């Protein structure tokens, strides 16, 4: 009898644990936050391929693409910095993963990814390594994280394309990838964001000029629209219409990346225009909250979010955290802190699924796990919880030690990069021929490997 009571009691306890998921008992106590974050980070690392036999260092399991890894490392780096700064095993995992994917030109255009990589993908990796700079993460001896971020920035900026829509970056880098004829807010937002961070970190106004160029273009072309609520950000448009036929989807990460970019610029320039723009992007970000719970509104209500879209809230949350520490206006911080408090508790309690009982879900309005799981769910929950702990990013003035190299990335010698640079700077008429040549090189390489 006693045994039965014990067993029943045990089962009830299990049930309670499962129903409750991870309980974030305090949104201010670091130990309690890190305690929850540890479960979520460990769940995320289940998808990491770099430690598995035959796995590629720096990559996560399919269906996750290369860019998802860039997104993941940004969150893991914050987790390491805020919660486990003395864990050398974790440090090595992050260091090796991020460095291995730098590519032969140390600009995050690895030749393996030439069939998938777009400007936004390179930009998201740029955000991860810029975070390494701002968190004083140990630099590789030959190439500092800062010089590699500058290489990402320089190569992206050199692709600025005035032949259609009066400017802007295309979505894709390579002519042969579909989306090469599309210009969008996320690719351009990444350039804006990186320019803002480099400006602040280095105290260099040239990057502010680039950020202004991107902002003005996005506004001028109508990707960003000024409404009564503030700035609304749309997805993008095809060059065949000279960017006039705009796809009016809205994504949380685009808002986050633009908002945090404005916050970095405000912190550096002290110019009120950037404070106003931050405020207006915070106001319109209200779209992504349902009863203050972060929700990918474009696709979640209809249950149509794809694998990428299920991860967007990770970057959104990270950027809310950064905005919160960079801008000291209480109008902004009280709003952001409220969203993060409510969303982090909701995200944590969704982590009650899977065989481990702590797998995170997608719909955080459900009391418990909704049965959806993946890298995107882990990332989004992790970064939302961690955004409660965001610290002020370092700059060169406040103790950052990463070495600057202003022209990094612009003189690379390897085949892929030479072609990328020449597509962007030489006449576009040659692009078709170049495509054929590069494809021939890749195919020849493939045939050679098979033989």
DSSP letter, residue 183? E
Q: Which stretch binds ligand NAG (CB under 6 A): 10-18, 182-190, 228-236, 293-301?
A: 293-301
Q: How many residues touch ligand NAG (CB under 6 A)?
A: 32
Angstrom distances, CA of residue 201 to CA of 25, 29, 107, 253, 402: 35, 29, 19, 22, 10
Residue nearest to ligand NAG (CB): 399
Q: Of 270 and 413, which has the nearer Cβ to ligand NAG?
A: 270
The whole-angstrom separation of Cα 176 and Cα 170 is 13
112 binds ligand NAG (CB under 6 A): yes
401 binds ligand NAG (CB under 6 A): yes
Cβ pair 166, 219 in contact under 8 A = no
431 binds ligand NAG (CB under 6 A): no
157 binds ligand NAG (CB under 6 A): no
State which of positions 86-105 bind ligand NAG (CB under 6 A): 87, 89-90, 100-101
State which of positions 334-393 bind ligand NAG (CB under 6 A): 363, 365-366
Angstrom distances, CA of residue 363 to CA of 22, 25, 360, 368: 15, 20, 9, 9
Q: Of 302 and 355, which has the nearer Cβ to ligand NAG?
A: 302
State which of positions 24-63 bind ligand NAG (CB under 6 A): 45, 56
Judged by CB under 6 A, the residue of 21, 74, 75, 110 near ligand NAG is 110
Judged by CB under 6 A, the residue of 240, 241, 242, 334 near ligand NAG is 242
For residue 238, the SS3 value is strand
162 binds ligand NAG (CB under 6 A): no
Q: Of 9 and 446, which has the nearer Cβ to ligand NAG?
A: 446
Judged by CB under 6 A, the residue of 136, 292, 307, 435 near ligand NAG is 136
Judged by CB under 6 A, the residue of 116, 206, 241, 411 near ligand NAG is 206
**Smallest separation (angstroms) from ligand NAG to the CB of 340:** 18
**Smallest separation (angstroms) from ligand NAG to the CB of 77:** 12
229 binds ligand NAG (CB under 6 A): no
DSSP string, 209-228: HHHHHHHHHHHHHTSEEE-S
Strand (E) or helix (H) holding 247 = strand 246-247
Residues near 342 by Cβ (< 8 Å), separated by ≥ 6?
291, 292, 293
φ/ψ of 60, rounded to 5, equals: -110, 160
**Smallest separation (angstroms) from ligand NAG to the CB of 221:** 5
The whole-angstrom separation of Cα 40 and Cα 358 is 7
141 binds ligand NAG (CB under 6 A): no
- What totals of helices (H) and strands (E) does the chain contain, helices first? 15, 7
Beta bridge partners of residue 236, listed in sequence order: 184, 247
Chain centroid, CA 73 distance in Å: 9
DSSP string, 75-126: HHHHHHHHH-TT-HHHHHHHHHHHHHTTTTTTSS--GGGTTT-BHHHHHHHH
Where does this chain bind ligand NAG (CB under 6 A)? 45, 56, 87, 89-90, 100-101, 110, 112, 136, 165-166, 204, 206, 220-221, 242, 270, 290-291, 295, 300-301, 303, 328, 363, 365-366, 394, 399, 401, 406
């Amino acid at each position: 009898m006693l045994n039965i009571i014990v067993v029943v009691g045990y089962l009830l306890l299990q049930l309670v644990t499962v129903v409750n998921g991870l309980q974030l008992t305090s949104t201010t106590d670091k130990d309690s936050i890190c305690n929850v974050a540890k479960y979520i980070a460990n769940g995320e690392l289940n998808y990491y391929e770099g430690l598995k036999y035959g796995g590629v260092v720096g990559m996560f399991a399919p269906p996750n693409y290369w860019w998802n890894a860039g997104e993941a490392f940004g969150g893991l780096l914050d987790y390491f910095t805020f919660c486990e700064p003395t864990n050398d095993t974790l440090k090595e995992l992050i260091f090796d993963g991020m460095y291995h994917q730098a590519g032969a030109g140390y600009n995050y255009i690895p030749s393996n990814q030439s069939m998938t990589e777009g400007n936004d993908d390179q930009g998201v990796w740029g955000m991860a390594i810029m975070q390494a700079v701002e968190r004083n993460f140990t630099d590789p001896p030959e190439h500092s994280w800062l010089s590699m971020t500058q290489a990402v920035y320089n190569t992206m900026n050199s692709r600025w394309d005035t032949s259609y829509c009066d400017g802007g970056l295309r979505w894709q880098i390579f002519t042969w990838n579909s989306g090469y004829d599309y210009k969008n807010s996320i690719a351009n937002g990444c350039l804006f964001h990186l320019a803002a961070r480099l400006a602040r970190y280095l105290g260099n106004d040239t990057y502010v000029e680039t950020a202004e160029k991107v902002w003005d273009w996005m506004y001028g072309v109508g990707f960003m629209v000024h409404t009564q609520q503030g700035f609304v950000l749309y997805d993008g448009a095809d060059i065949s219409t000279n960017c006039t036929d705009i796809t009016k989807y809205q994504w949380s990460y685009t808002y986050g990346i633009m908002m945090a970019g404005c916050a970095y610029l405000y912190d550096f320039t002290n110019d009120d225009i950037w404070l106003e723009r931050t405020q207006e992007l915070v106001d319109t970000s209200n779209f992504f909250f349902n009863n203050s719970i972060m929700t990918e509104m474009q696709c979640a209500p209809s249950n149509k979010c794809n694998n990428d879209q299920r991860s967007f809230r990770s970057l959104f949350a990270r950027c809310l955290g950064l905005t919160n520490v960079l801008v000291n206006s209480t109008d902004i911080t009280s709003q952001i802190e409220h969203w993060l408090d409510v969303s982090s508790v909701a995200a944590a309690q969704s982590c009650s699924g899977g065989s481990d009982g702590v797998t995170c879900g997608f719909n955080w309005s459900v009391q418990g796990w909704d049965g959806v799981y993946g890298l995107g769910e882990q990332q989004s929950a992790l970064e939302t919880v961690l955004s409660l702990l965001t610290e002020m990013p370092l700059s060169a003035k406040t103790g950052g030690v990463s070495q600057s190299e202003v022209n990094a990335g612009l003189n690379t010698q390897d085949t892929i990069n030479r072609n990328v640079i020449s597509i962007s700077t030489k006449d576009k008429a040659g692009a078709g021929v170049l495509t054929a040549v590069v494809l021939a090189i890749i195919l020849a390489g493939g045939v050679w490997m098979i033989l």
